Amino acid sequence: MKNILILLSLAFFFKLQAKAQTPLNGDQHWILNTNVSDEFNYTGTHSQVVSQIENKWHFIETNGNKMFSSAATNWLPVYPQSIFTDDGSNIEVTNGVCEIIAKYQPGQYPWPCGNCWGNQGAPTLQSFNYTNGMLISDAQTSFGFYEVRVRFPYYHNQREKTRGVAPSFWFFSDHPKLPENTYGYGEIDVFEQVDNYEAEDPFNNNDYCFAPNIHFDQINGNNGRTQNVQYGLIGWRDPEDYKAPLNYPVSFADGQFHVIGFEWQKDYVSFYVDGNEVGSLNFEQGKLLPMNAYLNNGMTENLAILAQTVFPFKYEIDYYRFYEFAANPNPTPLFISTSNYSNSTLGYDKRLNITIGGSGLTTKVATGTNLLLRADENIILDEGFEIDDNTQMYLQVTTR
């Protein structure tokens, strides 16, 4: 629960189960943007499926870089042997599930790069041992709620067999915009699978370790850019840093898909697994510009590790969904004076301010409901307010 201001004009005792609400949990404040979201319900030949996917996604960055993949001098020490293919050859769709596939596939592949990052030369053939896949959203988005329903390969002691590949879901600007007095570089990692086998590991060896991170370069006057000036310790900085505060385990031992949620608001971010919040951070992001969503497999730099990894590695995505907050542009006050109220009677509109109860009133929340109330200014729980053990209530005060 974040940014909550509760003003009590009368002391009382009640049991309150406050739980952040998500689209998965039925919060109707969120409206699905179908133009950006993708259910991957594509059929036909591979080329036909690729053509349909390209209505919403592209496979490498539009400036020609095969992102993070390598014969480029500046990425050579990091990703020396893998290349992201630009023709969708590492993307498949089966029964409504998109598969991003990392393959052991030695060969000669065209690399359109001089030194990369704006210095694009004519494509030349380079040797790569591994091919990889990536989806980059055509749309640039920002504040909202995101969900991906995903599944990763599972093996007994799976970290020994999947540690060379790091499936990720993150945000970065494919078309960097550098207006004056703003962040010159911004990136939000909803998760990067941290897979350094030799690291100290507090999680079960059959779990994946999901590592969120937020970092940026801030323009620093005449001194250029300074990386991570405020938020460098949000997520993991080094692969061995499994105990970073926002990291969390996810198990695919049951063979099921899991829903990873990400709420991106102006003043905080939150992370969810199957509708349950696993981490949250207050973070004022008014200067971060809209970014593209990235879904891809990262590849380790250690070829000895890759030799132990089982290929092909399939990162399966059942859907990608983007919800926008249905904020009321002209919110009005709400005064609740009667009992047995719920969202079915009050609606889901965001209010200017909310007062529940008052002198001589009894204002009990309807038993068994999951009440969601949001306001711009304040929420006052006044005399006569009641809530019982079988009821959940979520209150949020935040200005957007």
Residue 226 falls in which region: left (phi positive, over 0), alpha (psi -120 to 50) or beta: beta
- Distance, CA of 67 to CA of 29 (rounded, Å): 36
30-325 classified as CATH 3.40.640.10? no
Tens of pLDDT, residue by residue, the chain (400 residues): 333 444 443 333 333 444 567 898 888 888 999 999 999 999 999 999 999 999 999 998 776 555 444 333 444 434 447 888 889 999 999 999 999 999 999 888 877 654 444 445 566 777 888 889 999 999 999 989 999 999 999 987 777 788 778 899 999 887 655 444 455 567 888 998 875 444 445 566 778 888 887 776 555 555 444 444 444 444 434 444 444 667 888 999 999 999 999 998 877 888 999 999 888 877 666 556 789 999 998 876 566 667 778 899 999 999 999 999 877 778 899 999 999 999 999 988 889 999 999 999 999 999 998 898 988 889 999 999 999 988 988 888 865 5
Q: Which amino acid is at 194?
A: V
Neighbours of 211 (CB within 10 A): 24
Domain ranges within the chain, ordered by starting residue = 6-23+328-397, 30-325
pTM passes above 0.85: no
Cβ atoms of residues 316 and 152 within 8 Å? yes
Count CB-CB contacts under 10 A for residue 320. 23
Phi/psi of residue 52, nearest 5 degrees:
-70, -40
Q: Among all chains, which residue has been given the structure tokens 């689209």?
A: 23
